[in-house]
């Protein structure tokens, strides 16, 4: 766990494990630390989930569609991610208790929006076989 020094609190580490469990179910996802020190989950070297910690607060950001972003911002519990919010990113702070079923759906949306078409197709086919 040494490579994740930027997330050190028990709450941050628990959040990382929960996000890791969700994100790594998708084909060809990689976990990397970006140049800003955020832990990112990527497909094709493009991030769709980012996690960071400042002081005692961990927060994460999700890539969404602009329409989903607008709905989430009106709903509450989400904020527009600084610097990249104009591209549909929303943030969830550590002070918010997220609806994990909703978060999983948003992560799936972000993955499918970010993944190359062949991986999005592969994932959809895998999901179809599980039903």
Share of the chain above pLDDT 90, in %: 72
Confidence of residue 4 (pLDDT cuts 50, 70, 90): very low
What six digits make up the tokens of 127?
Answer: 């999901």
Residue 42, pLDDT score: 98
Burial of residue 130 (CB within 10 Å: 0-12, 13-18, 19+) is exposed
Pick the CATH number of 2-121 from 3.90.1150.30, 3.90.650.10, 3.40.605.10, 3.30.70.360: 3.90.1150.30
Judged by DSSP in three states, 64 sits in coil
Residue 130, pLDDT score: 66
Query: 83-111, pLDDT tens digit by residue?
Result: 999 999 999 976 667 899 999 999 999 99
Neighbours of 63 (CB within 10 A): 24
Backbone φ, ψ for residue 26 (5° rounding): -90, 150
pTM of the model: 0.90
Ordered by start, the domain boundaries in the chain are: 2-121
Query: 36-58, pLDDT tens digit by residue?
Result: 889 999 999 999 999 998 878 88
Direct distance between the N- and C-terminal alpha carbons of the chain, in angstroms, rounded to an integer: 36
Residue 56, pLDDT score: 80
Contact yes or no for 77/90 (Cβ under 8 A): no
Contact yes or no for 34/47 (Cβ under 8 A): yes
Q: Which residue has the tokens 């927060």?
A: 59
Separation between Cα atoms, residue 122 and residue 7, nearest integer Å: 32
Mean per-residue pLDDT, 74-88? 92
């Amino acid at each position: 766990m040494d490579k994740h020094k930027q997330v050190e609190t028990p709450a941050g580490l628990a959040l990382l494990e929960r996000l890791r469990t969700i994100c790594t179910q998708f084909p060809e996802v990689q976990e990397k630390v970006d140049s800003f020190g955020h832990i990112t989950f990527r497909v094709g070297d493009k991030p769709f989930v980012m996690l960071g910690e400042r002081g005692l607060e961990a927060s994460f950001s999700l890539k969404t569609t602009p329409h989903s972003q607008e709905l989430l911002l009106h709903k509450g519990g989400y904020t527009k991610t600084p610097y990249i919010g104009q591209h549909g990113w929303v943030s969830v702070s550590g002070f918010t208790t997220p609806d994990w079923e909703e978060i999983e759906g948003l992560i799936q949306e972000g993955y499918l929006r970010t993944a190359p078409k062949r991986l999005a197709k592969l994932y959809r086919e895998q999901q179809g076989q599980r039903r």
